[in-house]
Amino acid sequence: MTTAANAGSASDRLQALGLALPELRENPYYVDHRAVGPSIYISGQLPYLNGELLGRGVVGRDVELETARELARHAALNCLAAAVQAVGDLDRVRIVQMLVFVASTPDFGEQSTVASAASELLIQVLGENGRHARTAIGVAGLPLRSPVEIQMVCTAV
């Protein structure tokens, strides 16, 4: 079980993990987030870093489990970046629900293990505000042959 540091802000905890929120690139077809009442819907995020998709392929065939877990962490970071765009500060983000899509072989069966890497990161950075309802689902394919895509719903605290 992963626990968050007791001291410091969410930004401090993120930095202590050696991570930073990425810059999200604009898309002409959709927005990275949309607020409806108190809920903020985060568009599905792929594991991009500096404009480059970090992996391609199907988990259980082309992509190893640990690689897929790392890609899920990157996709979660992109979701956090979109949430910060919406609420202005990482300390104001509370994750309500996370939906993790894993492009995987029919017999893979470890989608929840892939998703847990993203869940662990959210809890490490946000503490109790990072705990969330979650669904992990295997799919036949994702955009650009990405192994992982994550969608979130969050609120501001």
CATH number of the domain that 81 lies in? Answer: 3.30.1330.40
Please tell me the predicted confidence (pLDDT) of residue 4.
47
Predicted pLDDT at 7: 67
> Into how many domains does the chain fold?
1
In angstroms, the first-to-last Cα distance of the chain is: 24
- More confidently predicted of 5 and 83: 83
DSSP 42-87: EEEE--EETTEE---S-BTTTB-HHHHHHHHHHHHHHHHHHHHHHH
Note whether residue 27 is domain-resident.
no
- pLDDT for 154: 98
Q: Which domain holds residue 80?
A: 10-18+32-156
Mean pLDDT of 73-96: 97
Q: Does residue 62 carry a pLDDT above 50?
A: yes
Position 1 in a domain: no
